[in-house]
């Protein structure tokens, strides 16, 4: 915990938080906010350059970088073992790692690409949840947050694998919440709207190309889907992620929380 922050209420003080896909985008924003709230963060990602770790530690926060491929059970087990060895057991898991591709009609979608999306977005979250619960259940404590999507509550043309994986994450969230409530463990999902990240830029380009629009026109159309007529900021996602993983949300579990600028209202 940063020395100058000792007078501030730290909502995740000394908690060990593992954020999958934490090296960039939404995961990096969540890791940063959690560190600022006193968590000792493990940035677990395919990308292991350590840029965010250096930024956080230079500001006095505790952060480590851990190699992780959520699609591999062996990698999941090794990453958790490394975090436990260096920081202690995981108190908060954020299942954030994800891929947005393929962008294709169902009739053109290759089953191998479908499987890859499911493996990363859904099976990866399942394997990390399973491994986290193995140490949370004996301790009767913990919080898990699944980063689903606005397409976890609606369909969207050209994104069958992605949308299906994000709906399934919501089912995983509610099933896990029911299984572990008696152990004092809470499991919720956060469903972001459109957030300006490398992931979004990639899928906007693919959608624009597939639909014969320019990148700029497709971006404006996406923004107009929210009554706020804008994207959601990274920190607006991260603040809700902290809320859902700290005691401020102590009576909430199995919830699917939209952070979409009002786009999704159910």
**Residue holding tokens 């209202």?**
265
Of the ranges 33-41, 57-65, 68-76, 132-140, which one interacts with ligand NAD (CB under 6 A)? 68-76
Strands (E), the chain: 16-20, 40-45, 63-67, 92-95, 142-147, 185-192, 256-259
61 is catalytic: no
Does 24 engage in binding with ligand NAD (CB under 6 A)? yes
Q: CA 81 to CA 128: how far, in whole Å?
A: 12
Does 98 engage in binding with ligand NAD (CB under 6 A)? yes
Question: How far is CA 234 from each of CA 24, 45, 151, 196, 239, rounded to the nearest angstrom?
Answer: 11, 18, 18, 8, 9
Does 46 engage in binding with ligand NAD (CB under 6 A)? yes
**Residue holding tokens 């965010």?**
52
Identify the residue among 199, 213, 223, 239 touching ligand NAD (CB under 6 A). Answer: 199
Of the ranges 31-39, 91-99, 108-116, 239-247, which one interacts with ligand NAD (CB under 6 A)? 91-99
Does 36 engage in binding with ligand NAD (CB under 6 A)? no
Selecting among 61, 162, 218, 231, the annotated active-site residue is 162
Does 192 engage in binding with ligand NAD (CB under 6 A)? yes
Q: CA 56 to CA 110: how far, in whole Å?
A: 40
Contact 231, 195 (CB under 8 A): yes
Does 65 engage in binding with ligand NAD (CB under 6 A)? no
Does 47 engage in binding with ligand NAD (CB under 6 A)? yes
Contact 42, 92 (CB under 8 A): no
Measured N-to-C along each axis, helices 198-210 and 215-224 cross at an angle, to the nearest 10 degrees, of 110
Q: Which is nearer to ligand NAD, 27 or 38 (CB)?
A: 27
Q: Which of 98, 48, 50, 43 is nearest to 71 (CA)?
A: 98
Identify the residue among 65, 117, 149, 164 touching ligand NAD (CB under 6 A). Answer: 149
Identify the residue among 16, 26, 35, 133 touching ligand NAD (CB under 6 A). Answer: 26
Does 70 engage in binding with ligand NAD (CB under 6 A)? yes
Of the ranges 101-109, 130-138, 196-204, 247-255, which one interacts with ligand NAD (CB under 6 A)? 196-204
Of the ranges 105-113, 190-198, 206-214, 240-248, which one interacts with ligand NAD (CB under 6 A)? 190-198
Identify the residue among 161, 200, 259, 264 touching ligand NAD (CB under 6 A). Answer: 200
Does 129 engage in binding with ligand NAD (CB under 6 A)? no
Identify the residue among 32, 65, 92, 96 touching ligand NAD (CB under 6 A). Answer: 96
Measured N-to-C along each axis, helices 234-245 and 25-36 cross at an angle, to the nearest 10 degrees, of 50
- 218 Cβ contact partners less than 8 Å away, ≥ 6 residues apart: 204, 207, 208, 211
Does 245 engage in binding with ligand NAD (CB under 6 A)? no
Q: Given its phi and psi angles, is residue 206 left (phi above 0), alpha (psi -120 to 50 degrees) or beta?
A: alpha
CA angle 15, 17, 18 (to 5 degrees): 155
Q: Residues in the site for ligand NAD, rule: CB under 6 A?
A: 20-21, 23-27, 45-47, 68-71, 96-100, 120, 147, 149-150, 192, 194-195, 197-200
């Amino acid at each position: 915990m940063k020395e100058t922050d000792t007078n501030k209420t730290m909502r995740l003080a000394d908690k060990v938080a593992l954020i999958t896909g934490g090296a960039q985008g939404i995961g990096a924003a969540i890791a940063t906010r959690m560190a600022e709230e006193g968590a000792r963060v493990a940035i677990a990602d395919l990308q292991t350059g350590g840029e965010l770790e250096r930024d956080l530690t230079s500001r006095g926060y505790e952060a480590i970088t851990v190699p992780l491929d959520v699609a591999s059970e062996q990698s999941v087990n090794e990453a958790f073992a490394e975090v436990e060895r260096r920081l202690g057991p995981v108190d908060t898991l954020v299942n954030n790692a994800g891929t947005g591709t393929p962008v294709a009609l169902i009739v053109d979608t290759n089953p191998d690409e479908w499987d890859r999306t499911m493996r990363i977005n859904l099976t990866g979250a399942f394997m990390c949840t399973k491994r986290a619960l193995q140490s949370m259940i004996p301790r009767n404590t913990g919080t898990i947050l699944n980063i689903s999507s606005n397409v976890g509550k609606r369909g969207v043309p050209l994104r069958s694998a992605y949308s299906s994986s994000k709906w399934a994450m919501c089912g995983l969230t509610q099933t896990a919440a029911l299984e572990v409530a008696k152990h004092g463990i809470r499991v919720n999902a956060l469903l972001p709207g459109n957030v300006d990240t490398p992931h979004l830029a990639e899928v906007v380009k693919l959608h624009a190309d597939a639909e014969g629009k320019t990148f700029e026109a497709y971006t404006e159309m996406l923004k107009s889907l929210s009554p706020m007529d804008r994207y959601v900021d990274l920190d607006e996602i991260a603040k809700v992620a902290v809320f859902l993983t700290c005691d401020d949300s102590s009576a909430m579990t199995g919830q699917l929380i939209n952070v979409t600028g009002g786009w999704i209202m159910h």
